Each structure stands twice: as structure tokens, then as C-alpha cells.
Amino acid sequence: MITVNVDLGERAYPIHIGADLIGKADLFAPHIAGSSVTIVTNTTVEPLYGDALRRALAPLGKNVSTVVLPDGEAYKNWETLNLIFDALLGARADRKTTLIALGGGVIGDMTGFAAASYMRGVPFIQVPTTLLSQVDSSVGGKTGINHPLGKNMIGAFYQPQAVIADIGALRTLPPRELAAGIAEVIKTGAIADASFFDWIEANIDALNRCEPLALAEAVKRSCEIKASVVAADEREGGLRAILNFGHTFGHAIEAGLGYGEWLHGEAVGCGMVMAADLSVRLGHLDDAARARLVALVKAAHLPTRAPALGAARYVDLMRVDKKAEAGEIKFILLKRFGETLITRAPDDAVNATLAASV
């Protein structure tokens, strides 16, 4: 097992990474102070890992209950969030109740938001079971739900007590979900660490095959990088925005096609290719680096051609993105692997990228 620490002063917490960690009581014990625990999971993950987690918690002598939510991004909303509050209030859960999020990013984001707001804040532990949630969403404290008018629009920054990333749980992940997680791994290498990017290129087949050693290394390096960015800029005042590389174009793809058509990681994969194209057009990145990025995204079985939504629609969608300021689109571009810049871009360059990407 490897442990990465997220250095946030009194809100610091460990990320434990390794095989078969869901069954290890001693990892959970230090982070559960009260007498009751509520596991929040969904209809897909509960039959896979619910029993293993409850068996691990049994020796701790806590009062353990489980809330099983419907599965899917479409359920990341107020109604489903209320099911968590219904269960907590119905069980008279007190301020020391610990919530455990057992599932992917949807469960993690919703459980974190429930923990941030139930009785004005109860502790929670993340047990991410998708690659995307292990390398990205479980780390950094962004929690929340979607609103019909926008994704992730209602939420809070709220840090967990611990993250327990069980690489063994990835064995049951559908291949498309695995690839979507690899997109965020590639993103992390591209923006922050050229040697990690080299490592991903060399190990992409092992990652595609879900080899545990390669996955553990990818999760460790991604968490180290995300943890250091978050420690420097917890509430996205500046630096943290680099984590959105590929997301400006990616969010437009997701919203333009209708959420759920492409997975988030698929849209980010293609979005990185588009951002690299724009980086080359504006003279920041050399074409050989762009070609390496495209080849790696392709090797991860992610899309590299954007859907034909029309340039005007793309621009509209990017303008309403949460990260745009007063309708002004900020692009996260690459200078080289490991170095980014955040900038506006002239319309003709953006249009040329959009035309070249479909």
C-alpha cells in the first residue's frame, strides 16, 4: 500500500492506494470517531463491494447502515440527495455519524455534499471505485450535484477524512469507464510532469489491460500531482484551474451532445486534443508534442475527433461554462509537457481549431 498526503493544515488527509483495501478495518478505524456509519452507494456497486465493506467495518462495533441510490449521472440531483438526508434523519444520525462514499464520482460528489450540509457538516470517507474517481474526483474536496440548468452548479468545498482507493475494485470496471479514467491520468501528466507523461506513453498497454502495478503507479502519481495543486490553491483562486486542461472543449462536447452521450473522460480526451491544436496555432506548443498527445489519447481508446456541433454552438457552450468569466472563455493551453498557460484566444484561431477537429 502507498499513502499520499493531502497537505491542507488542519484539514489534511491521507489517500491510501493499494489492492484489496476495502476489506481492511484498520484503514477505516482511525477516521471513524462516532458510534454510527452510513455507507452511501448505488445499485451497481452495492452488490459488488457492499458486503466486503460491511465485513471490514464489523469489528469496529459501529452501528452501520447503507443507503443504495439509483445509478447514473441523471440521478446526481436534489431528489437523490434527499434520499441520503431521509435515511440519516430516519435513523436519527447525529453529528458524529461518518458517511462513507462507496462508488464512482457521482456517489463521491453527492455523499460529500450530503456530509458538508447534514447538521452543518459530518465527517466522510471516500472509497472511490472507478479510475476517474481514484485519480481525480475523490481528491480535492469539490462536492455537489447537478441542476437542470447546469452541471455541478450546486455544491461545496468539503474535504474527506481519508480516501481509500482500492485498485482491486477496478477489475470490474467496464472498459469505457477505464478509458475515461485514463484520460484524466494523461491530463495530469500533460499539465504537470513531463516524465510522468513519458511513463504513461510507455505503460499505456498495461493500463488498458488493467494491470494492478501500472494502475497503482498511475493513481499514485496522479494523486500526488492533484494533491500538490490543491494544497497550493484549495478553492481554485488560480493554479487549480490548470486541472481543467481539455475541459473547456470537453464540457462543450458533453453539453452539446446531451450529458451521458459521451463519458466525461471521453470528452476530456478529445478536448485535450483540441486544446493542443489551439496551443500549436497560437505558437505555444510544437507540433511534435501535439502529435504525441493525439497518439496517446488514441492509444487509450479515447475519441480524438470532435462531434460536429457547429462552431457557433461550441463557442456559446464554452461561454456559459462555469469557468468562463463574464462570458469570456479562458483556455488552458500547453507550452510543453509539464507547463501550461491560461489565456484568452482570438476568435479566428478558435474557429480554425473547431474546424480542424471534427
Ligand X SMILES: NC(=O)c1ccc[n+]([C@@H]2O[C@H](COP(=O)([O-])OP(=O)(O)OC[C@H]3O[C@@H](n4cnc5c(N)ncnc54)[C@H](O)[C@@H]3O)[C@@H](O)[C@H]2O)c1
Known binding positions for NAD(+): 71-76, 105-109, 129-130, 142, 151
Reported residue count of the chain is 358
The residues annotated with a catalytic role in the active site are 120, 142, 184, 226, 236, 240, 244, 247, 251, 264
Binding residues: 71-76, 105-109, 129-130, 142, 151, 184, 247, 264
What residues line the site for ligand X (CB under 6 A)?
Answer: 42, 44-45, 48, 71, 73, 76, 103-107, 109, 129-130, 132-133, 136-137, 140, 142, 152, 169, 172-173, 177, 180, 264
3-state helix, strand and coil shares in percent for the chain, rounded to the nearest 5? 55, 20, 25
Nearest approach, Cβ of residue 111 and ligand X (Å)? 11
Longest dimension (CA), the chain: 64
List the beta strands (DSSP E) in the chain: 2-6, 13-18, 36-42, 63-69, 98-103, 124-128, 142-147, 150-157, 162-166, 331-336, 339-343
Helix (H, G, I), strand (E, B) or coil at 199: helix
Which residue number, 146 or 357, has a Cβ lying nearer to ligand X?
146
Residues with Cβ within 8 Å of residue 26, at least 6 apart in sequence: none
All cell numbers assigned to 79: 431528489
Which residue number, 251 or 284, has a Cβ lying nearer to ligand X?
251
Nearest approach, Cβ of residue 227 and ligand X (Å)? 12
For residue 29, the Cα-to-chain-centroid distance in whole angstroms is 25
Which residue number, 173 or 350, has a Cβ lying nearer to ligand X?
173
Nearest approach, Cβ of residue 284 and ligand X (Å)? 25
Nearest approach, Cβ of residue 112 and ligand X (Å)? 7
Binding residues for Zn(2+): 184, 247, 264
Q: Which of these, 226, 94, 77, 219, lies nearest to 154 by C-alpha position? A: 77
